[in-house]
Amino acid sequence: MPRPSPWKSCDFPGRGMSARQGRPVALWALAAFLGLWLGFPNDVLSAPPLALLWPLALAALGLGASSAGAALRRGWLTSLLGGAAALYWLSLPVHDVGGLPWALAVPCAVFIAALVTFQGGLFCAAARLGRGLAPWRLALALALFWYLLEYAAAALIGFPWLTLSGALAVWPLLVQAADTLGACATGGLWLWGCLLALFAFPRLAGLSCAAFRPRRLACAALIIALTLGYGLWRLNATPLDADPEGPGSVAVLFVEGNVDQGQKWLPAMQAETVDLYCSLTEQGLAALGRRGDGASGEPPLVIWPETALPFFFQTHRLSARVLELVRREKVPLLFGAPGVERPAPGNGAEPLIFNRAFLLDPDGRLAGFYDKEHLVPFGEYAPPWLNWPFLEALLQGVGVYAEGTATAPLRYGNLALGVLICYEGIFPWLAQERVAAGANILADISNDGWFRGTPASRQHLALTVLRALEQERWLLRGTNTGISAVVDTRGRLTASGPQFRAGTLAARARLRGGVSRYHLLAPWLPLLAAVALCAVALPWPRRGTGTHA
């Protein structure tokens, strides 16, 4: 007998109900694709709630599959198509910087998308395996499983990009529960309500031939209403303040060089790059009415982006130009540059090179530095299992970076900067560590110039603002090509700059102490979710018979 296709609609029995023909698979596959592509920031439109179509469609596809294996293949292939559309920009640095032809660059992007979207296949298979559960149990079990999948993918794959909250964060109202549950669990909460709404229409979901179930729809409406109500309450309780004043605030001047990623590491560009950042800083300070004597008011914290200086700041002759600027203008400066630590003479070990953030005080003294601890594969190191010569071109400028280990905040005055570099801003536990170490504000310096005018920068920003909401800390995000921004504790942008234009952005932010509810609950949430999933999904002793509510 020929093996059934994983895309073929099939009959299956619901527990205690007669079998029927499943819904057309193609429509659910299309819904999953559109949810992934259009729910996340893209080139067409921004419709964050559509992202919820992705797991909803996967649940329906899994319920209609002939086996768990067929569901896995169906869910993974559907997710891969949508994920490749959402992450197509991954091919750009491989082609533009790595020098690979499009025939190889595109498969590299598809390979990464396949890793990221494998959770879609697992979720679809889980829906098939849970088909015998009562619908209310199945909805809760799948929501918990989705949360655990997102959490595990962040830890194991190291690229938690297509998370539900990452899409919903574009509308801050939808993600306010992250101050208690965290971003991943907030996505699971939304999914729980939406699954109950779907299961209220059994024929649509492919559960059985049973009739419309209003109680499920009422429960779904209650969950969604409470989530939205909490969001409204939290936003109204913390009015938007784009210009906070007083001793618990800080003035900031972001400087965007808009330096071409393909040119920045050339030795001939080094002096030009330093001159560009220094002149932009002088212009920005002049526009603020700030001159070197400090008579105009408090000195702003000047922020240059990740690897703004494409040389070893500790030893390079051009560093004197930067120090002279800081001393003349009497401003603290946070900036990115490669750092190097050389072994003791006679040791024989190779020097360690870091992606480093330096903080200079207004006298030009080094107030501290932070070394990036979560490195980008291929951009900053090559995984041993893919250490191929043709990928070496992606390791720009200095080659392979070493991982940093210190998480203490960088301090100046009343500032305790919890520093994140580039995509470290998408990992909840890194921001958690910064706040635990005493940070009263988060600072993320980044360079999204690798991705040109694609949605990558907007997706990156949406994911990063969730750290401000989870930890209830304002976040300063300084970039090379945009989007530089200030984010308040409710995940709202209080200031943001344009893209692909050299210039400055002046803003203010507030310093915060204490910890959020999520900060206290974060270590326990995955364990609680796993226990709850087992309690809901494992078979219960059966007492009598009857139909599901």
pLDDT digits (tens, 9 = 90+) for 326-371: 999 999 999 999 998 887 666 667 888 899 999 999 999 999 999 9
Q: Please, which pLDDT band fits residue 379 given cuts at 50, 70 and 90?
A: low
Per-residue pLDDT tens for 219-241? 999 999 999 999 999 999 999 99
- 183 within some domain: yes
Q: Using alpha carbons only, how large is the chain's radius of gyration in Å?
A: 25
Residues 158-184 pLDDT 10s: 888 999 999 999 999 999 999 999 999
Q: Quick one: 478 and 410 in the same domain?
A: yes
The CB-side HSE value for 486 (13 A sphere, CA atoms) comes to: 25
Binned at pLDDT 50, 70 and 90, residue 399 comes out as low
Count of CB atoms within 10 A of residue 239's CB?
8
Q: Count other C-beta atoms under 10 Å from residue 215's C-beta.
A: 11
pLDDT given for residue 104 in this prediction: 84
What phi and psi, each to the nearest 5 degrees, are found at residue 207?
A: -75, -45
From 507, 452, 518, select the one nearest 485 (Cα to Cα): 507
Judgement on whether residues 276 and 154 belong to the same structural domain of the protein: no
Shared-domain flag, residues 190 and 122: yes
Q: At which of 206, 237, 268 does a domain end?
A: 237
Reduced to 3 states (helix: H, G, I; strand: E, B; else coil), residue 215 is helix
The helix/strand/coil state of 443 is: strand
| Cα–Cα dist 331/293, whole Å | 11
End of a domain among 237, 262, 297?
A: 237
**Statement to judge: residues 171 and 287 lie in one domain:** no
Pairing between β-strand 410-412 and β-strand 475-479 as defined by DSSP bridges: unpaired
Contact predicate 445/357, CB 8 Å = yes
Position 1 in a domain: no
Asked whether residue 133 falls in the same domain as residue 159, the answer is: yes
Same domain, 276 and 220: no
CATH, residue 435: 3.60.110.10
My answer on whether 230 and 262 are in the same domain is no
Average pLDDT, the chain: 88
Which of 192-196, 213-217, 390-394, 496-500 shows the lowest per-residue confidence on average (mean pLDDT)? Answer: 390-394
Q: Is residue 63 part of a domain?
A: yes
The answer to whether position 284 is within a domain reads yes
In terms of Cα–Cα distance, which of 198, 228, 204 is closest to 216? 198
Q: Are residues 224 and 278 in the same domain?
A: no
pTM: 0.89
pLDDT in tens, 122-150: 999 999 999 989 999 999 999 999 999 99
Residues 53 and 186 in one domain: yes
Residue 11, domain member (yes or no): no
Question: Total structural domains in the chain?
Answer: 2
Alpha carbons 462 and 542: distance in angstroms, whole number = 45
- The domain boundary, picked from 237, 269, 293, lies at 237
**243 is a domain residue:** no
The whole domain housing 63 covers 19-237
Residue 188 lies in a domain: yes
Q: How far apart are CA 86 and CA 71, in angstroms?
A: 22
For residue 500, count other CB atoms closer than 10 A to its CB.
13
pLDDT at position 108 = 85
313 vs 356: CA distance, rounded Å: 10
Degrees, nearest 5: CA angle 451-35-88? 20
Same domain, residue pair 96 and 206? yes
Does residue 331 sit in the same domain as residue 297? yes
Within-domain flag for 259: yes
Domain check: are 254 and 229 in the same one? no
